[in-house]
Amino acid sequence: MEKDRLNKNFLDEFKDYNFSSIKEKIIYLVGSIKFKDSFIKIESILQIIHKKLVSICSVDGLLNKSEFSTKEWDLLQEIALAKLPYQEAILVLDVNGYIGDHSREEIEYFEKKFKKPIYYLSKLKESK
C-alpha cells in the first residue's frame, strides 16, 4: 500500500493558512532554525501542492546548527544573502511572532535591495 507524505494529519497543522495567496513561483524561506519542522513541512506543501520552487539557506544548517563554528555559520549567512537576488519572493516563517536577528537581516536586505514581495506566515493564517 502506497503512503502519501502530505496526508490529512500532516496537512491539518496548516489547514488555516492561505498559501495560494503567494503568486510568485520562486520562493525563499526565511526563519529561525528553532522551527525546522515548520520549514520542512511548509517546503513540501509549497512544492507539492502549490508547485513552487522553494529554497532555503542550508539544509545542513537547518538541521545541525550546533555543529557549525561561528566562522562557518557566518559564511552560511553570507551565502543566504547571495541567494536572495534569484528569488521572486520570500516567506518569513514567523512562528509565534518570532523573527531572529539573521532573519531580520535577510528580510531587510531583500526589502531594500530588491523590493520584491515578502510574505509572513502569520499573515497567511485565515481567521475563523
pLDDT one-digit tens code per residue, 42-96: 999 999 999 999 998 888 877 888 888 999 988 988 988 899 999 999 999 999 9
Most confident of the following: 68-77, 96-105, 109-118: 109-118
Three cell numbers, residue 49: 501542492
- On whether residue 11 sits in a domain, the answer given is no
What pTM does this model have? 0.89
Q: Residue 47: which domain range?
A: 25-100+117-128
Report whether pLDDT(98) > 90: yes
Segment 89-109 shows an average pLDDT of: 93
- How many whole angstroms separate alpha carbon 52 and alpha carbon 23? 9
- On whether residue 12 sits in a domain, the answer given is no
- How many whole angstroms separate alpha carbon 15 and alpha carbon 7? 12
- On whether residue 91 sits in a domain, the answer given is yes
- On whether residue 59 sits in a domain, the answer given is yes
* Count of domains for the chain: 1
- On whether residue 48 sits in a domain, the answer given is yes
- On whether residue 111 sits in a domain, the answer given is no
- On whether residue 39 sits in a domain, the answer given is yes
